[in-house]
Amino acid sequence: MKTRLFVSSALINDTEIELDGDQARYLSRALRARVGDRLNLFDGNGAEWTAAILQISKNTVTLRIDDSHEAGTESPLRVHLVQGISRGERMDFVVQKATELGVKRITPVLTEYSMVKLDGSRAEKRRDHWQRIATSASEQSGRVRLPLIDTPIPLKNWLGDKPQRIDTELILKPGAAATLPSLRPPETKICVLVGPEGGFSDSEYEDAEISGFKAVSLGPRVLRTETAAIATLAMLQSLWGDLR
């Protein structure tokens, strides 16, 4: 499998681009790439390009971009994951695997039982960190569009300002009567709320219900937050997405 890289600038057929910084070091030092090696590039706009290495210097790599082609790896199912922030590597894991499973947007939320506290500057740094994880996961999994990672926000604030054009809104709740297979297929977008390690509080469930969210269960066992998020996305893609 060819190396894939996300490039933030727009890619154009039959042009040359120069990579520097971490990407240049990754190609020249980590991968030990050589002049003439070929790789795939994408810029997040839905296509993929093949490219050849023309020159490698100490700090830069020059590439020749060939023609573009459609990758066909983006899921037709539009899923927005609203994830209660968990500690340490658990949140990183959710972002990585959710990206691999085709999620379109991830909104990290601070809840009553969240064990993570983030102020303004730290919240932005965490968002940037998670966006880098999503970019790397997109490169590895073959995606050509990066999921949007929002800046962390209190759940109550997000519920007050949430988008209106979502026809399926779900919140995971152990013991809920409804299950994912019992639901009607979504017409447009699915939004799923997943709690942190301590779950949602009773008042948060009430706020979500008032806001239009339906409680669903994943089965008889209580799953960890990272397991619940990934299991939900896999089931949604199996039911109505591109894992059918």
H or E element that contains 233: helix 225-240
Choosing from 70, 94, 113, the residue where a domain stops is 70
pLDDT of residue 1: 65
**48 with 148, same domain?**
no
Cβ partners under 8 Å of residue 122, min gap 6: none
pTM comes to 0.93
Confidence of residue 87 (pLDDT cuts 50, 70, 90): confident
**SS3 readout for 110-178:** ECCCCCCCCCHHHHHHHHHHHHHHHHHHHHHHCCCCCCEECCCEEHHHHHHHCCCCCCEEEEECCCCCE
Range of the domain at 30: 4-70
Whether the Cβ atoms of residue 84 and residue 208 lie closer than 8 Å to each other: no
Residue 103 sits in the same domain as residue 218: yes
Q: pLDDT band at 70, cuts 50/70/90?
A: confident
Average pLDDT, the chain: 94
Q: Are residues 97 and 148 in the same domain?
A: yes
Query: What is the domain-level CATH number for residue 31?
Result: 2.40.240.20
What is the H or E stretch that residue 194 is in? Answer: strand 189-194
What would the mean pLDDT of 128-134 be, rounded to a whole number?
97
pLDDT in tens, 221-234: 999 999 999 999 99
